[in-house]
Structure formats: C-alpha cells, structure tokens
C-alpha cells in the first residue's frame, strides 16, 4: 500500500487505497441542506513622551508591583527564547552585560501629583534629569463591554461559572478628542469609571451596577479631518514579509488609512526572502544613508516599491552583520540587535529624507525603540512634529536584552535609560525591556482587542508589564484588528477554484470538494474541522492534538496547516502526521502555505482556535468571512469577535460560532461537540450560523476610524 507522502501536498501522489477512501462513502452530499427557517489607553504626552511617569502613580498598585525583583545572578539578558525578543526563561551564560556603574536602585517615586502636568514641555536635553511625565486627558475610552458568560452545555455537572465575564472589562481604544481639562490622575482609576464609548456586547449580568455607557459619536458623526502623513515602521507586512498576524494588520491598516485620504508610507527591512513578486517597480531611492551604530555608522541603501498599491521603503544595510540576508525573518541570536538597528535606521531615514510625518506608528518590540529614538535623539535634531503610536500584537515577546543595545544605538546615558521609569525591565534590574521603552515613550499604545487590553493590564497576561500598563493606562487601549477585504474575499479570491458569497453559499461546497481532492481526503458527508496557525504553545497545541482525535471519533474530518521554528514541536506534529497518514479523514500539512490556507478557509466547515491566550486572532475573522464557523476559546480577541450559538446574550442573528471557557479537553469537547452535532442534526441552523458569520463586518473600516481618532488625539497634544 502506498503511504501518503508526508511532504507538501501541492502535487500529491495517490497515497491511499481507493477502497479506504470509498469506504467512507461519497453518496451523500457533504453539504448541509438549505435552511427551512431561521434557527433558533498616562495620556499621551503633550509633546514629549510620558517618560518617567512614575510607576508609583498607579497608586495602591505601586505598592505591590513596583518593587523590582532583586537579581539572582548577574546576567546577560539578550533574548534566548524560542521566539525573538521573548523574555528569556533563564539567564544566558557567557554574555555578561555591561552593568551600570552602580547597581540600579528602584527609582524613588515622586508624589502622585507629579504626573498631573499637561503643558507641553520644551525638548529635553539629553542630560536633563528624568522628567516628570505629563498625564493628559484620558485618551483611551475604557470600555466595560465585557463578553458575556459562555456556559458549556456539555459540562452540565460542572457549570462554568461564567469565568471572566464579570471580571472582564476590556479596554477599548476608542480615542476621543482630548478633554479640555484633563482630570488629575491621583491613582489607578477603576476601569469601570472610565466611560465606554462603544458597546460591543451586553453588559454581563454579574456587573449590573455598570452605568449606561454614553455612545461615542466619532463613528456616527462625520467631521472634517485633515489628511495626515502617517509612517508605519514594521518588521513584517503581508504578503512580502509575513510570519503571522502582524503582517496582515500592517497590510490591511495601511490600505484603510490611505483609502481615507491619508498619505501612508511603510518602512520595512529589505530581507533577502521578501516576496519580490509582490513588489511593483522597486527602485533605489536613497543611496547614501549612514546609520549611526556603535562609534561609527553603517551604510544603507533605501529602496522604494509598491506592494499592492502601498508605498513601501525597504532599508538594506551593508555591513558584515548581514542583518537581513539570512533566509528567514526571525530566529537568530542577535534578533534584538537586528531590529534595534532597523529602528534606528528607519528614524535616520525619515530624518535625512526630511520627512516629518504627523504620526509614526510602530509595531511590537522589534520597533519599540522608535519612540525612544524620536524623543531622545531626533526631537533635538528638529523632528518635533511627529507623534508616536505603538501597537502591541503580543505581550509574550518583549525584546528583553542587555545594555549593549544602548551603546550600539547611540543612547549614551545608561544611567538615564536603565531606570525603572524608562527602559529597565520590571523584573531584572540589569536588563532592558524594549517593549516597555516603547510603552513609556509612545504617545499612545494600543493592543489588538479590548479584551486583551484588559487581560494584559489586569488579567495576568501582561508578562510582567502590568505595572507599566497601569502607570500608562490613560494612553492604553484595545482596537480589534480588521482583515483586508480585498485579500480575504471569497467572491474574488483567486486562490480558490470556485468563488462564492452570502447570496450563493453553495459555491463553498465546491471548494470543500477541491480541498478534499487536494489533500486526498475521502469525499463523504462529514464536516471538515480545520486549524491554521503557528504551532506555538500559545495556540493550545495539546488541545489541537486532542481535537484531531475527537473530531475523527465524532465523525468529522480534520485538516491542519501550521509550522513552528521549534524543532521539537515540529517533530511532534510530524510524528502525529505519520501516525494518521492512512486516515482518509485527516491531513496535517506542516509548513507555511498561503495559497493552501485560502482553500482551507473556503473549504472547511469549522475553524478551531483553542488558544491559551489570543491577543486578537485573525484566523477566526478570516474563517467567518469565508463562512467557516469558528470554534474558539473565550479569550482575548476571540471573546470579542465570536458569539456562541447557544449561550450568547446576543440576538440570534448575531451569533456566529461556538465557544468554551476552560482550557481543558472537556471544555474543548463541549464546543466542538456541539458544532459537529449541529452540523449533522440541524443543518438549517448550521447554515444560518454560516450566514451570520459571513454577514459580520470585520473589515478595517471601523478599526481604521479608531486609529485615525487616536492619531487625531495625539496630534493635538
């Protein structure tokens, strides 16, 4: 018997005896019949960043969290974690950092009133003592619109206590025009006190005392907005340099901002493995960029090209470090240095090119030094106009590193930066935390969903940055990502054989057949459950594994597309793949394949996202766009975007998937089991779910508006 090849399936060879595939039968249509009826954000600094905003200003919180953990060993902290910039789990031997002359002490905390100033400070000289940061008007609208409780029916005996529902008070970064007179920040205000501007979901029953939330007018009130010059500085952008969701976000957001009449440019590293086939008219535009690095400078060339209409600059350094010619984007011991260099180079490029954007928007730890450079170096050189916005896509990766990066990038006063109120890591006083620096120095910080904003600040998901978020909570909030409706559109998608839409859903089932054909799955009446994602523990890999067997047991088919830079994880999944190689109902594709991902989104019936934590999650959003019903854990952005068919408080027509609360196998089974049962026993209901999912607007339209409001807000400070 020929075994199924375990490699790429683009040109699959027959691998299974016909009899086995046929045994599952193809007589019944694998399409649920047509329905017979309806189924059941310290405020942005004025001009200068909020540097030095005393962490103690968080009032009572400071007493708990402001005491730095004493170092146990002297260490170098250059990240050695599995993903670049991740907080190291242990100190790295053999790379002792250059310690400050005197061991850093916890910064004496100024009185709370010190953060009340709102005037625009003059540019600060590099030798100026630690400034007290102005805290202005509450910028982020803090929303109490927590997701509703999601009981798990299959676990009737262990009633899920609406975990997190009452406690969930996601922060929504619905920026509003600055209040004329900002309230003083005396202490960390309870989330509830901030006004909600946009109610996504009903208030949980557990929080009946919540006041009626005033509606934010920005969405509904057209108003004149001058065109802005916005520069995105990012390590990734789809499709030219994509590892995960960050790439999609930059791709989608830039387009939305441009559509709204703004001038948008993106700066990326010129990786050797860029998808050059997606870059139009690439040409050298700046040949003589010298970027300060250690005592000297590195010569760079800057290229310009269009990526699906987006204006992009690509920086190519010429040095022995060979920063970006390594065949892949991340995964190198010097990742922190590579992106510190890129951040400095991007700022140097803007400066030398005479660009003075209204807003510089940077992303994740890789470019979190940009606001630091802006306010510590370039404002003294005349770049006083731009404001800085940082979006954090995942708090797990922070760029925790040694002191070397200061010397390399020209931040020459270690005593200034190795300060608890600036870049010093909250746990290791001998380490710098680039992401923390970005939070401190940016005028506004967003993360990618209101629920995740809450979880990171108050729900223990901040990976040590909770106190920093508390200090800067007035300029912190969550904006749910959108998806690019041009790239992800079943009506126009060229990656799929049959295009379809809400009005002609049946085309989806031609794609289901095509998917089965491509992956050599049996053509039968079973539902296809899919998983697409990085094979990272964050994604709930043990539950993914369990879901494969559970799905097969419950009469479904399972398709997985994923890869990991971790050899151990990859090996595990290769083992699983071999084990299931002969199953006509299961296919695991270990690798990254954008093309196949489109076919899976179109051809699968359900998309599983059982994450341990999930800042936003794009897979469930894309899945819904393609009418693939999400089965997700109620966490982060998943809880903000998926509403359980059976237990949501939302009206029936808004329910779009299945959820479970508890991260364990029974939890997963409770949601997946219901989904499969609905597919088999209530196909009309299942079809309505598909329609509900497809009807939702998860485009960049709304998040684009939110970001523009944030930009407007910080520009006025």
Instruction: Tell me the residue nearest to ligand ADP as measured from the CB.
Output: 245
Binding mask 494-533 vs ligand ADP (x if CB under 6 A, - otherwise)?
Answer: --------------------------------------xx
Candidates 86-94, 122-130, 312-320, 617-625: pick the segment binding ligand ADP (CB under 6 A).
Answer: 617-625
Binding mask 197-236 vs ligand ADP (x if CB under 6 A, - otherwise)?
Answer: ----------------------------------------
Which residue's CB is nearer to ligand ADP, number 140 or number 616? 616
Among candidate residues 442, 307, 471, the one with its CA nearest the CA of residue 368:
442
- Between CA 432 and CA 437, with CA 433 as vertex, the angle to 5 degrees is 105
Which residue's CB is nearer to ligand ADP, number 144 or number 628? 628
Q: Which of 13, 74, 592, 666 binds ligand ADP (CB under 6 A)?
A: 592
In the complex, the smallest distance separating the C-beta of residue 534 from ligand ADP, rounded to whole angstroms, is 5
Q: Which of 4, 344, 361, 534 binds ligand ADP (CB under 6 A)?
A: 534
Contacts of 224 (CB under 8 A, 6+ apart): none
Candidates 18-26, 146-154, 165-173, 556-564: pick the segment binding ligand ADP (CB under 6 A).
Answer: 556-564
594 forms part of the interface with ligand ADP (CB under 6 A) = yes
User: Is the preceding omega at residue 185 within 30 degrees of 0, hence cis?
Assistant: no
Which residue's CB is nearer to ligand ADP, number 368 or number 377? 368
Q: Which of 68, 527, 617, 657 binds ligand ADP (CB under 6 A)?
A: 617
Count of other CB atoms within 10 angstroms of residue 325: 13
Q: Which of 66, 593, 640, 649 binds ligand ADP (CB under 6 A)?
A: 593
In the complex, the smallest distance separating the C-beta of residue 359 from ligand ADP, rounded to whole angstroms, is 23
The length of the chain, given as a count of residues: 717
699 forms part of the interface with ligand ADP (CB under 6 A) = no
630 forms part of the interface with ligand ADP (CB under 6 A) = no
Q: Pinpoint the alpha helices (H) of 382-465.
A: 404-409, 414-417, 434-441, 450-458
- Between CA 189 and CA 195, with CA 191 as vertex, the angle to 5 degrees is 100
Which residue's CB is nearer to ligand ADP, number 33 or number 575? 575
565 forms part of the interface with ligand ADP (CB under 6 A) = no
Which burial class, exposed, middle or buried, applies to 698 when counting CB atoms under 10 A from its CB (0-12, 13-18, 19+)?
A: buried
Contacts of 101 (CB under 8 A, 6+ apart): 415
Q: Which of 245, 399, 584, 636 binds ligand ADP (CB under 6 A)?
A: 245
Report the distance separating Cα 638 and Cα 636, nearest Å. Answer: 5
619 forms part of the interface with ligand ADP (CB under 6 A) = yes
List Cα–Cα distances, 680 to 19, 38, 284, 659, 677, in angstroms.
Answer: 25, 17, 58, 18, 5
- Residues contacting ligand ADP: total by CB under 6 A: 18
- Can you name the residues that pair with 659 across neighbouring β-strands? 632
563 forms part of the interface with ligand ADP (CB under 6 A) = yes
82 forms part of the interface with ligand ADP (CB under 6 A) = no
Q: Which of 56, 561, 608, 693 binds ligand ADP (CB under 6 A)?
A: 561
At residue 283, what are phi and psi to the nearest 5 degrees? -150, 155
In the complex, the smallest distance separating the C-beta of residue 390 from ligand ADP, rounded to whole angstroms, is 17
Q: Are 205 and 167 in contact (CB under 8 A)?
A: no
Which residue's CB is nearer to ligand ADP, number 341 or number 531? 531
635 forms part of the interface with ligand ADP (CB under 6 A) = no
Q: Are 717 and 135 in contact (CB under 8 A)?
A: no
Q: Which of 152, 248, 364, 376 binds ligand ADP (CB under 6 A)?
A: 248
Report the distance separating Cα 228 and Cα 257, nearest Å. Answer: 9
Q: Which residues of 13-42 are buried (b: 16+ CB within 10 A; e: fewer)?
A: eebbeeeebeebeeeeebbbeebeeebebb
Distinct helix (H) and strand (E) counts, the chain: 19, 17
Query: Which residues in this chain contact ligand ADP in the complex, by CB under 6 A?
Result: 244-246, 248, 532-534, 561-563, 592-594, 597, 616-619
């Amino acid at each position: 018997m020929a075994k199924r090849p375990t490699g790429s399936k683009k040109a699959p060879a027959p691998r299974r005896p016909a009899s086995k595939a046929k045994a599952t039968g193809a007589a019944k249509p694998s399409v649920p019949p047509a329905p017979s009826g309806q189924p059941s954000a310290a405020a942005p600094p004025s001009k200068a960043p909020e540097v030095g905003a005393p962490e103690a200003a968080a009032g009572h919180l400071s007493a708990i969290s402001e005491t730095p953990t004493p170092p146990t060993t002297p260490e170098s902290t250059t990240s050695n974690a599995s993903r670049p910039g991740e907080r190291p789990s242990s100190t790295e031997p053999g790379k002792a950092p250059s310690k400050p002359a005197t061991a850093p002490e916890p910064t004496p905390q100024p009185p709370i009133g010190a953060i009340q100033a709102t005037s625009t400070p003059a540019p600060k000289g590099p030798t100026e003592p630690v400034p007290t940061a102005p805290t202005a008007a509450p910028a982020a609208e803090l929303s109490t619109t927590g997701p509703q409780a999601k009981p798990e029916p299959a676990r009737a005996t262990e009633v899920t206590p609406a975990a997190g529902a009452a406690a969930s008070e996601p922060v929504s970064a619905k920026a509003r025009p600055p209040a004329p007179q900002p309230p003083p920040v005396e202490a960390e205000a309870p989330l509830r006190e901030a006004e909600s501007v946009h109610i996504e979901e009903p208030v949980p029953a557990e929080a009946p005392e919540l006041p009626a939330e005033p509606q934010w007018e920005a969405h509904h009130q057209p108003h004149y907005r001058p065109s802005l010059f916005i520069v995105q500085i990012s390590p990734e952008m789809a499709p030219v340099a994509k590892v995960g969701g960050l790439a999609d976000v930059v791709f989608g957001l830039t387009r939305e901002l441009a559509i709204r009449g703004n001038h948008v440019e993106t700066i990326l590293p010129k990786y050797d493995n860029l998808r050059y086939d997606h870059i139009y008219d690439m040409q050298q535009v700046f040949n003589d960029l010298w970027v300060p690095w250690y005592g000297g400078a590195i010569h760079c060339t800057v290229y310009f090209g269009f990526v699906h209409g987006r204006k992009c600059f690509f920086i190519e350094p010429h040095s022995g470090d060979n920063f970006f010619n390594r065949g892949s984007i991340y995964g190198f011991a010097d990742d922190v240095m590579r992106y510190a260099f890129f951040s400095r180079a991007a700022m140097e490029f803007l400066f030398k090119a005479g660009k003075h954007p209204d807003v510089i928007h940077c992303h994740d730890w890789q470019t979190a030094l940009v606001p630091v450079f802006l306010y510590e170096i370039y404002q003294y050189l005349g770049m006083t106009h731009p404001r800085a916005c940082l979006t954090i896509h995942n708090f797990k990766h922070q760029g925790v590193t040694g002191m070397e990066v200061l010397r390399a990038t020209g931040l020459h006063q270690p005593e200034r930066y190795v300060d608890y109120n600036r870049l010093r890591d909250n746990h290791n006083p001998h380490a710098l935390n680039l992401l923390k620096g970005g939070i401190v120095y940016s005028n506004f910080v967003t993360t990618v969903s209101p629920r995740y904003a809450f979880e990171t600040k108050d729900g223990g998901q901040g990976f040590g940055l909770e106190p920093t978020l508390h200090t800067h909570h007035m300029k912190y909030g969550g904006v749910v990502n959108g998806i690019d409706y041009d790239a992800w559109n079943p009506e126009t998608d060229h990656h799929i054989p049959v295009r379809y839409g809400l009005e002609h859903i049946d085309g989806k089932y031609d794609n289901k057949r095509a998917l089965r054909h491509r992956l050599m799955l049996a053509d039968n009446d079973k539902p296809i459950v899919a998983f697409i994602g990085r094979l990272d523990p964050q994604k709930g890999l043990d539950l993914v594994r369990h879901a494969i067997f559970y799905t097969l047991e419950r009469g479904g088919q399972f398709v997985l597309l994923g890869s990991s830079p971790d050899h151990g994880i990859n090996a595990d999944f290769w083992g699983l793949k071999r084990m299931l190689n002969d199953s006509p109902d299961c296919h695991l594709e270990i690798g990254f394949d954008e093309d196949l991902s489109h076919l899976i989104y179109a051809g699968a019936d359900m998309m599983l996202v059982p994450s341990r934590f999930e800042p936003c999650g794009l897979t469930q959003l894309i899945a819904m766009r393609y009418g693939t019903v999400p089965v997700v854990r109620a966490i982060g952005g998943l809880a903000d975007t998926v509403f359980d068919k059976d237990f949501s408080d939302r009206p029936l027509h808004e329910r779009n998937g299945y959820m479970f609360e508890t991260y364990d196998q029974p939890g997963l089974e409770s949601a997946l089991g219901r989904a499969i049962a609905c597919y088999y026993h209530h196909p009309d209901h299942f079809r309505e779910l598909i329609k509900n999912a497809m009807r939702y607007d998860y485009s960049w339209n709304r998040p684009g508006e939110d970001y523009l409001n944030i930009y407007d807000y910080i520009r006025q400070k």
